[in-house]
Structure 1
Amino acid sequence: MADSHQPFVALIVGVTGMAGLGLAEALKSPSALGGPWKVYGSASRPIPTWFPSSLLDKYIAFDATDAGNTADTLTPISGEVTHVFWVAIQVRESEQVNVTVNAIMLSNVLDVLKSGPGGNGTGSKLSHVTVQTGTQHYMGSIHDPTDSGQGLEPHEPPFREDLPRLPYPNFYYALEDLLESYAPSLTYSVHRSSIIIGASSRSVYNALLTLAVYALICGYEGLPFRYPGTRYTWEHFCDMSDARVLAEQHIWAAVTPSAKSQAFNCTNDTLKSIPMWVERLRDMKIIP
């Protein structure tokens, strides 16, 4: 439990996404492990109108790909932040570019926070970083068409955290290697979700939002709500991750000594929670 006079201070990078919103809600909960938390939230664009700003002590917009902008923006809080929750992602034209840009973003942020307000490490309180990745760790790049047809076989489920890496570029691997390079001056945890179910209009891979829009179109046109996926996805194994469960895992790992510098899968039974998340999308006026 955090000392009441020295509370933990979180920086959520990517706070307007599904996982980011879940983290903000969980950290501001009265029952949050390590709480009470001071919470900074950040993203690359101004805060959207649907985001409940009351969940944050301050919102910060900056471009993590720009080292100068990152330093200018984060240096004022670099003597406060004790924990970074990294749920940001950028997807570019190839996986090799994804490796470069996502590693640069994380490196820029960590360099500023580890340097502290004096720029020489003095005053930095950063102790732990949680990083959101996913099952692409076991399946290979799903973003880069150049990786297809090369005879590279993904792992078969069930996926275990100790499975070996696949032999081609993956920006998740780059993020893990970057975190390890900061040891032992800070600890880290890696959180490998499946398809995340949550509420956000800013998440590129918000499957729930896609399904909700599809259902609205079917209702408007008077069409039956047929399964919109492929035959393969209908007939094969698939799992999901509730953003709330994912947030609780991040926080648990951030404050639990035995969880340091490890990777954790995170999947659960999300079907029961889908109606709740649809109502959240309506309440936030993301869908009608």
Structure 2
Amino acid sequence: MVVLALIIGVTGISGLSLAEALKNPTTPGSPWKVYGAARRPPPGWFPTALVDRYITFDALDPTDTALKLSLISQEITNLFWVPLQVQESEEVNIFKNSTMLKNVLSVLVSSNSGRSRLRHVALLTGTKHYMGPIFDPSLAGQLMPYEVPFKEDSSRLPFPNFYYELEDVSASYSPAITYSVHRSSVIIGASPRSLYNSLLTLAVYATICKYQGLPFRYFGNKYTWEHFFDVSDSRLLAEQQIWAATTGKAKNQAFNCTNGDVFMWKSLWKLLSEIFDVEFVPFDEKEKFDVVEMMKEKGEIWDEIVEKHGLYKTKLEEITCFEAMKLVLHFEFQHVSSMNKSREFGFFGFVDTMKSIRMWVGKLREMKIIP
């Protein structure tokens, strides 16, 4: 029986790594047939050979979703859910993200013939599960995250959270369909089509600093500069999602998924300074500056860099997330997740974060997204 995966959000950081992993002949469950879906046609940098079929539709539109997915609904055995819709209001986030998932599942489960083959949903969420809706300005100053390290058995916070809604939607199809939840940290990967691409944001910042001879200053606070943080390599996320989809005891469970190591931002800043050939500037609390305001004026500079180096055509405001990155770098707590549950259930994947950063910067350069 052919195992067929549908990746919703295939052109994003996580979707791209999932497609690559599923097409690897050594991946559990192989051979996989892979369909990829996104709101827009495949961009020029996307390796279309990674998917057996590319589907374009708007998951927020039930009619468009039904029209595009009804043709393949009887084939799909595994759904990998990695898209993201984020607005300022968490109530809007809940509506949009849950609507997309409900629209897709309704088509895949209720096929016209009644012979749905869907067996598992792998759901990508994140550590906002433990912190609350940190990007909702109406809740600023009210959120109190759990003590670190974040653990999967923590009770839900008393705030609206679209991750909770996505979990509930997935669980509502049990036991007919199993599910797994994968809570990532900040995701490191390569795609200009991801809403929160932290590495690309930092890479663009460093590139502009190099191009204009500006100091590559840290735009966080002293706490994050000197305390532990973790991230999630998108390859590791793909590995864990596929592991859960093919491992019986991992079904209907939630797992943190981080690289398994921690770092201080001052160490990562030294690495980025080396990679992008800019002078390392130690953090100085006295030197205050607003990176968001600074980058608002750099759109034309980025256009020059793109033109000069023959890069894939991008706009600064479309490929960076300085507002989100600034918020993250001003946390007053250590951002660390426990990976013990994953290990107890049999997942032992890990990634060296510093090596990961080097590799993904190289990948972004190969894709001609940065010089």
- The bucket for the TM-score relative to the shorter chain is over 0.9
Question: How far is the alpha carbon of 1:285 from its aligned partner?
Answer: 1.4
Contact 1:76–1:117 (Cα < 8 Å) also in 2:
no
* Matching of residue 177 in structure 1 with residue 168 in structure 2: yes
Unaligned runs of 5+ in 1: 1-5
Q: Given that residues 197 and 270 in structure 1 are in contact (C-alpha distance below 8 angstroms), is that contact kept between their aligned partners in structure 2? A: no
Contact 2:84–2:195 (CA<8 Å) still a contact in 1?
no
Partner of 2:137: 145
Cα distance in 1 for residues equivalent to 2:178 and 2:57? 25
Give how far 1:225 is off.
Answer: 2.7
Query: CA-to-partner distance for each residue in 1:173-223, whole Å, 9 max, x for gaps?
Result: 000011111111100000000000000000111001011111111111223
Q: CA deviation at 1:230?
A: 2.9
Match of 2:16 among 12, 16, 21: 21
For 2:155 and 2:205, how far apart are their aligned partners in 1? 38
Deviation at 1:233, TM superposition (A): 2.3
Q: Find 2:249's aligned residue among 258, 281, 284.
A: 258
TM-score of the superposed pair, with normalisation by structure 2: 0.74
1:236 pairs, out of 224, 227, 231, with 227
SS in 1 for 2:70: helix
Q: Give the counterpart letter for 1:169 in structure 2.
A: P
In the TM superposition, residue 236 of structure 1 has moved relative to its aligned partner by 3.2
SS at match of 1:77: coil
Aligned equivalents of 1:92, 1:227: Cα separation in 2: 26
- Local SS of the residue matching 2:7: strand
Please say if residues 70 and 107 of structure 2, whose CA atoms lie closer than 8 Å, have aligned partners that are also in contact: yes
1:97-116 aligned at under 5 Å gives the runs 97-116=92-111
C-alpha deviation, 1:88, in angstroms: 0.6
Superposition misfits of 4+ residues, deviation over 4 angstroms: none
Paired with 1:117 and 1:196, the residues of 2 have a C-alpha distance of 38
SS at 1:78 equivalent:
coil
Q: Partners of 1:7 and 1:270 in 2: how far apart?
A: 35
* Structure 2 counterpart SS, 1:130: strand
Deviation at 1:89, TM superposition (A): 0.8
| Displacement of 1:116 | 1.7
Does 2:278 match 1:283? no
Q: How many percent identity over aligned positions? A: 64
CA offsets, 1:250-278, max 9 Å, x none?
00000110100000001114221111101
Give ranges in structure 2 of 5+ residues lacking alignment.
Answer: 260-351
Deviation string, structure 1 residues 125-173 (Cα, Å, up to 9, x no partner): 00000000000000111221111133x4211210110011000100000
Superposition deviation, residue 93 in structure 1: 2.9
SS of structure 2 residue aligned to 1:76:
coil
| CA distance in 2 between partners of 1:61 and 1:258 (Å) | 34
Q: Is the 8 A contact 2:88 2:137 kept in 1?
A: no
For residue 28 of structure 2, the aligned residue among 3, 20, 33 is 33
Contact 1:194 / 1:267 at 8 angstroms: preserved in 2?
yes
Alignment equivalent of 1:81, drawn from 73, 76, 83: 76
User: How many Å apart are 1:287 and its aligned residue?
Assistant: 1.4
- Code of the aligned partner of 2:170: L
In 1, Cα distance between the equivalents of 2:210 and 2:173?
Answer: 52
1:286 maps to amino acid? I
1:171 is aligned with what amino acid? F
Matches within 5 A, 1:150-169: 150=142, 152-169=143-160
Q: Within the alignment, does 1:249 sit opposite 2:244 as a pair? A: no
TM-score calculated relative to the size of structure 1: 0.94
Aligned to 1:55: 50
Is this contact kept in 2: 1:77–1:117, CA < 8 A? Answer: no
Query: Which one-letter code corresponds to 2:21 in the other structure?
Result: A
CA–CA distance in structure 2, aligned partners of residues 223 and 66 of structure 1 = 45
* Distance apart, 1:53 and its partner CA: 0.6
SS of match in other structure, 2:207? helix
Amino acid at match of 1:274: I
For the pair 1:274 / 2:269, whether they are aligned, the reply is no
Root mean square deviation of aligned Cα: 1.1
Instruction: Report if aligned partners of 1:137, 1:172 keep a CA contact under 8 Å in 2.
Output: yes
Q: Name the larger-Rg structure.
A: 2
Q: Is 1:125 the counterpart of 2:125 in the alignment?
A: no
1:15 touches 1:21 (CA, 8 Å); kept in 2? yes
- Partners in 2 of 1:228 and 1:271 — Cα distance? 20
Match of 2:279 in 1: none
Partner residue, 2:197 = 206
For residues 226 and 168 of structure 2, what CA distance do their matches in structure 1 show? 35
Residue 282 of structure 1: CA displacement?
1.1
Assess if the C-alpha contact under 8 Å between 1:24 and 1:39 holds in 2: yes
